[in-house]
A and B are shown apart, each in its own frame.
Chain A
Amino acid sequence: MESLSNKRKVLIQKPLNFWERIYLPAIVKGLSITMSHFFRKPVTIQYPEQKREFSENFRGMHSLKRDEEGRERCTACGLCALSCPAEAISMIAAERKKGEENLYREEKYAAVYEINMLRCIFCGLCEEACPKEAIYLDGDIVPSEYLRKDFIYGKDKLVEAPLNQ
């Protein structure tokens, strides 16, 4: 049949000639190929000590952002939790009291904000849903833990460090 892709290769199996039948030239060729690899630089990256550079759109651990005055941007609207296909995000909203204007930008803020890192699929939909540019997946790889409960990250791990510290 006519090949449509033009990629078909016709294999012709000729009987081996004398040099091919004694195998030794082929073995020597193979040995030289492996020897050329022997002196090549290893490609291994020794992970905990050496790290590979992430690509620019890598999605790692989440962080809750602060604005230019150091106030938390999150207003606990719940759009991230709603958009999350894995239902990894949950939060409890609270009203900003008088005197807390330097802590929270909006009048409503997230008193508790939890992401279950075992549920999270790092799709980035929370980042896209957020109207306040408060959540970004710009962190590192999520580290390993011994207990499941340790994978539920609260605000202590998620919120960015304050500006002047």
Chain B
Amino acid sequence: MDTAQLIFKLILVVAIFAISLLIALYSTYAERKVAAFFQDRLGPNRAGPYGLLQPFADGIKMFLKEEIIPTNASAFLFIAGPSLAILTACIGSAVIPWGQKLTFGNTVIDLQVADINVGILYIFGVVSLGVYGIMIGGWASNNKYSLLGAIRAASQNISYEISMGLAIIALLLVTGTLSLRGIAEQQHGFWANGYFTWNVFKQPLGFLLFIICAFAETNRTPFDLPECETELVGGYHTEYSSMKLGFYLFSEYINMFVSSAVMATLYFGGYNFPFMDMLSKIIDPNWVTIIGVFLFFIKIACFIFFFMWVRWTIPRFRYDQLMDLGWKTLIPLAIANIVITGIVITFLNR
């Protein structure tokens, strides 16, 4: 890799980092605004036009608040918890392909930080690391509610990771590759060989399972039991204040962004869109790439909106219902999905 490539990768890393932080920042604003609209209210509208500066006001508030570490808490782990949570949330986006390759003369620019051939496994690893931030924070708080919230988060993540993994296995049977770039390339365009190319049409049940598990993994309603206000005060972040609390809340939104990006890549064609081949004959292919990146972000925004839409519609599960759903419904369904996918692929390949 020559210097120019290296510099470009660095720029890309910084850009993606900035974009995911910005999107997470404005997700907090969108959450409040969307919640307000669903409840026939107006939402934040005082800071700046339409309240657009609200997230910055919230951020400044978080930074200026007093830093409190409880006397009986383990200070090192207490700080390590939110740091780990935000770190794992931020590194997930490294393997996501944001667009096709840009070509300027001889230089080819890859809009993906790392095209590793185990992309999905990497994301999986990062997601399962994410629970450590919550677990450590809840344990270090030395508080019953925090500990209960942390334990809930851990067992919930473990339960739903299984069915998420099984849903992915069925997808891998279809794609035959673990690389996210490869999966995105396979979904090129919208229609090929008499069928849709997007994986959601090949794996509808798998997508349903995956999105349910994504809700559980990001601790969003209806699976937000780790921070269940009615039972656990604030859940794992009961004892947290100032920016450490901010990091926990922020990492939830970054996780939401990353899982939306993963869902869009795996099932909704990533940066591909209908008639892209026709369009690339008319205009410069680089422009098609840029349109693709733009549409990819629109897809992500739609998923984030869906996360919020569900949050303000469906009430929270009871804990035994959550476990019932995870172990008795989703896992058998995921296994059945693998079997059906395998049979169909065998028959199609004959």
Contacts and interface: CB of A to CB of B under 8 A. Distances in A.
A34 B38 contact: yes
B2 interface: no
Give the interface SS of chain B, mostly helix, strand, loop or mixed: loop
B314 A37 contact: no
B314 A42 contact: no
A31 B314 CA distance: 8
Interface residues of A, number: 14
B305 to A, nearest CB: 10
Contacts of B309: 31, 34-35
A30 B313 contact: yes
Interface centre among A33, A37, A46 (most CB of B within 10 A): A37
A40 interface: yes
B42 interface: yes
Given A34-B309, A46-B45, 8 more contacts: A31-B309, A33-B313, A34-B312, A34-B313, A37-B39, A41-B40, A42-B42, A43-B41
A18 interface: no
Which of A27, A34, A35, A44 lies at the interface centre, i.e. has the most chain B CB atoms within 10 A of its CB?
A: A34
A44 B313 contact: no
Contacts of A37: 37-40
Contacts of B302: none
Contacts of B233: none
Nearest to A21: B329
Given A27-B313, A34-B312, A44 B38 contact: no
27 contacts: A27-B313, A30-B313, A30-B314, A31-B309, A31-B310, A31-B313, A33-B313, A34-B38, A34-B312, A37-B37, A37-B38, A37-B39, A37-B40, A38-B34, A38-B37, A38-B38, A40-B40, A41-B40, A42-B36, A42-B40, A43-B40, A43-B41, A44-B40, A44-B41, A44-B42, A46-B42, A46-B45
Q: Which 10 A-B pairs have the closest CB atoms?
A: A34-B313, A44-B42, A30-B313, A42-B42, A38-B37, A34-B38, A43-B40, A31-B313, A44-B41, A42-B40
A115 to B, nearest CB: 34
B198 to A, nearest CB: 21
A27 B40 contact: no
Contacts of A38: 34, 37-38
A34 B221 CA distance: 15
Interface residues of B, number: 14
B313 A42 contact: no
B279 to A, nearest CB: 32
Interface in B287-343: 309-310, 312-314
A38 B312 CA distance: 11
B213 to A, nearest CB: 15
A50 B40 CA distance: 17
Nearest to A32: B313
Interface string B32-66: 00101111111001000000000000000000000
Nearest to B36: A42
A34 B39 CA distance: 8
A27 B38 contact: no
A55 to B, nearest CB: 23
B70 to A, nearest CB: 35
Nearest to A44: B42
A44 B41 CA distance: 6
A41 B39 CA distance: 10
